[in-house]
Homo-oligomer: A and B are copies of this chain.
Amino acid sequence: MAEPSDGVAPDGDGIERPSHPVTMKDVARAAGVSVATVSLVLNNKKNARIGEDARRRVRDAIDALGYRPNALAQNLVNGSSRFIGLVADAIATTPFAGQIIHGAQDEAWRHGYVLLVANTEADERAEREAIAMMLEHKVRGILYSTWYHRAVAVPVALGETEFVLVNCFAERGRSSAVVPDEEQGGRRATELLLARGHRRIAFVNTTTESPARSGRLAGYRAALESAGAPFDERLVFEAQPDQDGGFEIVETILDSGASAVFCHNDRVAMGLYDGLHQRGVRVPADISVVGFDNQEVIAAHLHPPLSTVALPHYELGARGVRVLLGLEESVGPSPILVECPVVERESVAAP
């Protein structure tokens, strides 16, 4: 069905190669030792004294035969695997889920673990099956992740193993969880504008109730207040959280007399740009704009490139495995908050 671009190790090495899968027994035979010895040198146990000679013979046999340990067998005897399960509700909708997987995968790998990935598309049945399968594979633990920050009902089966919620938190009860610090992010975004001297800063929030909505608003407000700028409710607007929402709210923003706008996300900012351009309003000369999410395809390539605050998805995945593995304390009853870093580009200027 498929062939390697290159041959396998040549056979003329003088050692007989068993017809198919090379086991430890084969190595032992070839090296003239017992399987126990092979096992010992393989895992180089320190308190097992193996002669230099035998050790070498084993090594040679392993190379010659192209032996690979059978992880299935190892896991069976050790009673647990090196798997970490990751169940995601949407792995392809946005690049976000990808980032979580990426972070989790890197960190897991670093500690000798492998990711078992399951996509559930938020289907409860798929979710149950995914978790069951992971449990049956005796995973070290499960990362339960969502593609946008929200509260979730923790599936009962998760209780059979250790788990960490990633980018979500438990509706009720407490569970280890790692989520983005929306408020801090909102504060940073606003400060980006404040720092350049803006005082009348509009905030285009989303219409949908969510931690992002309340968190970013709180951050916006806090930044304003601690900068001594007035918080004016009439400068807070709501729009559908996408390009259309941003596009439709231009007029309103322009009427408000704000010199800068903090958008709930980059997509809103993109729509806003569009509407602004159509009216001949220049960014940032006439009005400054800041986004949120740092959705690369958009933010980095708008004209001018959009200053924004990044959602730390990679970090969420990575932190998730760290707390799962007990490398990091999940202190306190509330979720671990991960910072949202700012990404400065060119959409902000002095008023």
**Chain A positions near chain B (C-beta within 8 angstroms):** 1-8, 21, 66, 68-73, 75-76, 79, 81, 91-95, 97-99, 101-102, 105-106, 109, 114-119, 126, 132-133, 135-138, 153-160, 162-165, 170-176, 242-244, 247, 267, 270-271, 274, 277-278, 295, 297-298, 301-303, 314, 323-324, 326, 330
Q: List 23 A-B contacts (CB under 8 A).
A: A1-B176, A4-B155, A4-B173, A5-B159, A8-B156, A68-B135, A68-B160, A70-B138, A72-B138, A91-B102, A92-B98, A92-B314, A93-B95, A101-B101, A105-B119, A109-B118, A109-B126, A114-B116, A116-B116, A117-B117, A247-B303, A267-B301, A274-B277
Contact check, B298 vs A164: say whether CB atoms are below 8 A apart. no
A326 to B1, CA, bound (A): 8
- Whether A3 and B175, one on each chain, are in contact in the complex, defined by CB atoms closer than 8 angstroms, is yes
Closest to A278 in B: B277
**Residues A101 and B95 in contact, CB atoms below 8 Å apart:** no
Residue of B nearest to A129 (CB): B109
Residue of chain B at shortest CB distance from A317: B92
The closest CB in chain B to the CB of A244 belongs to B301
Interface of A is mostly: mixed
How far apart are A11's CB and chain B's nearest CB, in angstroms?
A: 14
A301 pairs with B243, CB closer than 8 A: yes
Minimum C-beta distance from A248 to chain B (A): 11
**Cross-chain contact A102 with B95 (CB below 8 angstroms):** no
> Which B residues lie within 8 Å of A73 (CB)?
76
Residues of B within 8 A of A302 (CB): 243
**Pairwise interchain contact A71-B138, C-beta atoms closer than 8 A:** yes
Inter-chain contact A72/B102, CB cutoff 8 Å: no
A303 contacts B274, CB within 8 Å? yes
Q: Identify which of B70, B119, B267 contacts A297 (C-beta below 8 A).
A: B267
A3→B297 CA distance, assembly (Å): 38
A79 and B136 alpha carbons, distance in the complex (Å): 17
Taking CB as reference atom, which chain B residue is nearest A117?
A: B117
